[in-house]
């Protein structure tokens, strides 16, 4: 990951929990102040604030580093494309290249996206995969991801596959023509940089990712269109993603009615649960009164 200079996957966790950490640190220092004062060693409020300010500075420095790393990565990727070291293909051009030239499409998306839609005959080696570990650090990131919008977008917690490059090298020689694609185009650029630095010279990047593909561009397998492979969560259920709204504009009122019915259903269920909770509360009060 450091070779890509990409922001750490834990940066979101660190930034989102910054306020809680400051509160915990302040409480801890105040307790320390009380203990030391009782022993005749006053611990000034100024010292407490200095510690908190120092912790804030460390967090801000880390976030700035993440921003600088991402900006540097984008510059490198732009240079790869500008200098022709990685060729650019549209989804339609990629489809022609696969059908007419037998080029290999390397799908670097996580399993959650590939299961919904995939290019027929493509090779799947994800650069980021769904993190299914249950250690303390992973659980913390999962909770943070969910609270920070994962419940709405359906985006899972991902982790970088350190064996990505090794898996590609085991399957493809360095002179293979590889068309690298992800859902939106960012992760595939990171994969292209890794592969180029490892000695692959015939690399093609799908601009905009598979999400930019129209139905006729690529031969698809899977239950959903490519445009819907990257959506999920409550937003997908209610049809409030940009992709679904664009589809609704084409499909007409029948498509919109389905999602409107789901929204009404949610309100009805919520209302029923509220009424049921009130009834249960009254029932419990009656039991206590007798």
CA distance 186 to 175: 23
Looking at the chain, the whole-number percentage of residues with pLDDT higher than 90 is: 41
For residue 174, what pLDDT band results from cuts at 50, 70 and 90?
A: very high
Q: How many CA atoms lie within 13 A of 90 on its CB side?
A: 6
Closest to 238 in 3D by CA, of 158, 157, 151: 151
The DSSP element (H or E) to which 89 belongs, if any, is strand 86-89
Out of 125, 179, 182, 231, which one is annotated catalytic?
182
For residue 119, what are the β-bridge partners?
Answer: 220
pLDDT tens digits for 230-277? 888 777 777 777 787 777 777 766 656 665 676 677 667 777 777 877
Active site (annotated) includes residue 192: no
Going by their DSSP bridges, the two strands 128-130 and 158-160 should be labelled as: antiparallel
The tokens describing 205, both together, are 């990047």
CA 239 to centroid of chain Cα atoms = 19
The pLDDT of residue 151: 73
Closest to 217 in 3D by CA, of 63, 89, 74: 89
The pLDDT of residue 234: 76
pLDDT tens digits for 65-79? 778 877 888 899 999
The pLDDT of residue 128: 93
For the cut 70, the answer to whether the pLDDT of residue 55 exceeds it is no
| Mean of the per-residue pLDDT values of the chain | 77
């Amino acid at each position: 990951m450091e070779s890509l200079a990409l922001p750490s996957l834990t940066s979101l966790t660190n930034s989102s929990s910054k306020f809680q950490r400051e509160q915990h640190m302040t409480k801890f220092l105040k307790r320390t102040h009380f203990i030391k004062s009782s022993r005749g060693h006053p611990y000034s409020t100024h010292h407490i604030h200095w510690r908190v300010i120092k912790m804030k500075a460390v967090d801000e420095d880390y976030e700035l580093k993440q921003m600088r790393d991402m900006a540097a990565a984008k510059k490198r990727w732009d240079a790869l494309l500008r200098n022709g070291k990685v060729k650019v293909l549209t989804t339609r051009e990629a489809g022609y290249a696969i059908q007419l030239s037998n080029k290999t499409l390397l799908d670097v998306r996580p399993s959650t996206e590939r299961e919904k839609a995939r290019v027929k005959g493509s090779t799947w080696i994800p650069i980021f995969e769904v993190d299914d570990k249950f250690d303390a650090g992973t659980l913390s990131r999962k909770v943070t991801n969910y609270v920070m919008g994962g419940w709405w977008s359906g985006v899972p917690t991902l982790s970088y596959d350190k064996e990505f490059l090794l898996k590609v090298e085991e399957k493809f020689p360095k002179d293979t023509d590889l068309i690298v694609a992800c859902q939106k185009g960012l992760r595939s650029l990171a994969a292209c940089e890794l592969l180029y630095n490892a000695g692959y010279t015939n690399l093609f990047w799908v601009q905009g990712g598979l999400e930019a593909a129209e139905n006729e561009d690529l031969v698809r397998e899977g239950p959903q269109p490519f445009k819907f492979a990257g959506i999920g969560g409550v937003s997908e259920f209610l049809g409030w993603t940009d992709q679904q709204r664009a589809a609704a504009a084409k499909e007409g009122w029948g498509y919109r009615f389905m999602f409107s019915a789901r929204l009404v259903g949610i309100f009805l269920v919520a209302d029923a649960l509220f009424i049921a909770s009130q009834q249960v509360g009254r029932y419990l009060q009656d039991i206590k009164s007798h």
